[in-house]
Amino acid sequence: MSEPAKATTQYGDFTGTISLDGFEGLAVFDLLKSWKIPKGYWPVGINIYGFGKSEGGSNPLDLKAKVLCVDNEQVGGQGPDSIGDYCKSNDKLSTFVFDAEIDLVKLASAIKRIDIVLLSKIVGDVEVRRHNDRS
């Protein structure tokens, strides 16, 4: 069974989006610890969740992670070019997840720019538009 690659928590008090700059190519995957991807898969994303000891981790700064990978056979080749070509002609991409950990301090030090937007669950699924600041 598959589900959309979308962040969720138990209560969903706030939901939103995140955008990061600072990672060229696969550099973000270099920050992962204890991850192994079987031959024939290519990483395309990361799902980071939980906080260390509260999720059974040994270090509060080690976050649990899942590496989202595509099957090279599905996209007809290996690497960014094959994946990009596949995505241009298909509206869905199936990924498989593999366990990993990521160090929060290393992640933060690698980020050049970050933009996080969190919205209260009271707004539901309505599209929220930002206008110029009135201050």
Report the predicted TM-score, pTM, of the whole model to 2 decimal places.
Answer: 0.78
DSSP string over 1-22: ----S----SS-SEEEEEEEE-
Rounded CA-CA distance 56/69 in Å is 24
Amino acid occupying residue 44: V
Q: What DSSP state is assigned to residue 133?
A: -
The pLDDT of residue 62 is 72
What pLDDT, in 10s, does the model give residues 74-101?
Answer: 999 998 999 999 999 999 999 999 998 8
Given the structure tokens 């979308």, which residue do they identify? Answer: 6
User: What's the average model confidence in pLDDT over 12-30?
Assistant: 81
